[in-house]
């Protein structure tokens, strides 16, 4: 970067260009590079956080609502006798995997894998608790 600045200044001085104009153009170019980098980092963090919170909150709520509505045993005037114990066990296991997977995916994207180990149980707990709360919702 410094070599590039020095070479630009040498070219500007060699071609009898304005030193102030050259420095102003260099500063504008570096400002644009800085802003592009900052925007890229912000968008990457937004995507990583969406993956994390989608796995810890959005997906458990949606799955819990689907099971709560369609697994309630009532479909119009008909009574359904459905055993949901295996489905619930599978959903709890899936929420554990989803919570852990969301943390690891966010950590890999943001390059913070050192903190993923201690954050993983917290998001597994959040995903499972969210699923339990969503299963308790009675819409029908």
Task: Note whether residue 55 is domain-resident.
Answer: yes
Q: What residues have CB less than 8 Å from 55, skipping those under 6 apart?
A: 98, 99, 101, 102, 105, 123, 127
**Structural domains of the chain, count:** 1
Q: CA dist 22 to 5, 6, 26, 29, Å?
A: 10, 11, 6, 11
Task: Note whether residue 62 is domain-resident.
Answer: yes
Task: Note whether residue 22 is domain-resident.
Answer: no
CB 60 within 8 A of CB 127: yes
Domain span holding position 122: 43-135
CB 44 within 8 A of CB 110: yes
- The secondary structure of 127-140, three-state, reads HHHHHHHHHCCCCC
Top-ranked range on mean pLDDT: pick from 7-21, 43-57, 63-77: 43-57
Top-ranked range on mean pLDDT: pick from 31-35, 72-76, 86-90: 31-35
Sign (positive or negative) of CA dihedral 114, 118, 119, 120:
positive
Task: Note whether residue 38 is domain-resident.
Answer: no
- Across the range 111-139, mean pLDDT stands at 87
Q: What is the pLDDT of residues 22-61, one digit of tens each?
A: 777 778 888 888 999 999 999 999 999 999 999 999 999 9
Task: Note whether residue 83 is domain-resident.
Answer: yes
Q: What residues have CB less than 8 Å from 112, skipping those under 6 apart?
A: 106
């Amino acid at each position: 970067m410094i070599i590039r600045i020095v070479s630009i200044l040498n070219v500007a001085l060699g071609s009898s260009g304005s030193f102030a104009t050259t420095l102003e153009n260099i500063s504008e170019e570096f400002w644009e590079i800085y802003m592009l980098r900052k925007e890229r980092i912000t968008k990457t963090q937004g995507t990583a956080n969406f993956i994390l919170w989608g796995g810890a909150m959005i997906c458990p709520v949606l799955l819990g609502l689907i099971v709560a509505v369609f697994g309630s045993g009532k479909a119009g005037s008909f009574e359904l006798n459905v055993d949901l114990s295996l489905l619930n066990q599978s959903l709890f296991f899936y929420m554990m995997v989803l919570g852990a997977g969301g943390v690891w995916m966010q950590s890999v994207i943001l390059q913070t894998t050192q903190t993923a180990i201690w954050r993983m149980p917290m998001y597994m707990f959040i995903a499972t608790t969210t699923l339990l709360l969503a299963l308790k919702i009675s819409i029908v």
